[in-house]
Amino acid sequence: MTIGSTPKADATNEDAALVARIAAREEAAFREVIGMHAALLHRIAYRMTGDAHEAEDIAQEAMLRLWDHAPRLGQRGEAMKLGPWLKRVAMNLAFDRLRSRGRTSDADVPERVDEAPLADEALAAEEDMLAARALMEGLPERQRAAIVLTYYEELPNAEAAEVLEMKLKAFESLLFRARAALRSAFEANEAQGGAA
């Protein structure tokens, strides 16, 4: 770290340098970015779509967009923040997939049945997870994104707001509404005798 610089500024400089190397079509830099970010992008996409194959496609597409857009992104210079840019691309791709899924079918996606014998506790945990996922799927996509980024990916509110291209206060309001909607859905589910 140079004297007078901050860790955040150094990370931004490193991101700008990586993007410049990718813009110059340096495959080693691209592999480095894939190693640093691909797993996180896959997790975000999976939590948004609930489909591992679709999540893999989204993560790969986000990386391909970085490769394609690196020359333009390199023009941002010092202001380039690679992590938030990739998360935003993955989130937008997940939104597109969810919208497309809504247009192509109004039937629920069938859950995959696990035929392996499970202990009662594991079965109950699985039912709770599925019930929680069903409640999450009932949320509008931006509210779902706020929950995924904050509680599953454990991003600070400021970074999650940046990923969704929102002001911090607007994001906090969105997160508050998402939690209230989940709470209401949970209470309605409990009143009907559902699991979760």
Residues 6+ apart with CB under 8 A from 38: 59, 63
The answer to whether the beta carbons of residues 176 and 133 sit under 8 Å apart is no
Percent of the chain beyond pLDDT 90?
37
What CA–CA distance (Å, rounded) separates 45 from 93? Answer: 8
Residues 6+ apart with CB under 8 A from 20: 74
What is the pLDDT, as a whole number, of residue 103?
A: 56
**Domain 1-104 = CATH 1.10.1740.10:** yes
Least-confidence region, from 37-46, 74-83, 168-177: 74-83
Q: pLDDT band at 131, cuts 50/70/90?
A: confident
What is the pLDDT, as a whole number, of residue 110?
A: 56
What is the pTM for the complete model shown? 0.60
CA angle 107-110-113, nearest 5°?
A: 165
Q: pLDDT band at 106, cuts 50/70/90?
A: low
CATH pick for 121-196 out of 3.40.50.970, 1.20.140.10, 3.40.50.410, 1.10.10.10: 1.10.10.10
What is the pLDDT, as a whole number, of residue 8?
A: 56
In the chain, CATH 1.10.10.10 sits at 121-196
In the chain, CATH 1.10.1740.10 sits at 1-104
Amino acid identity, residue 63? M
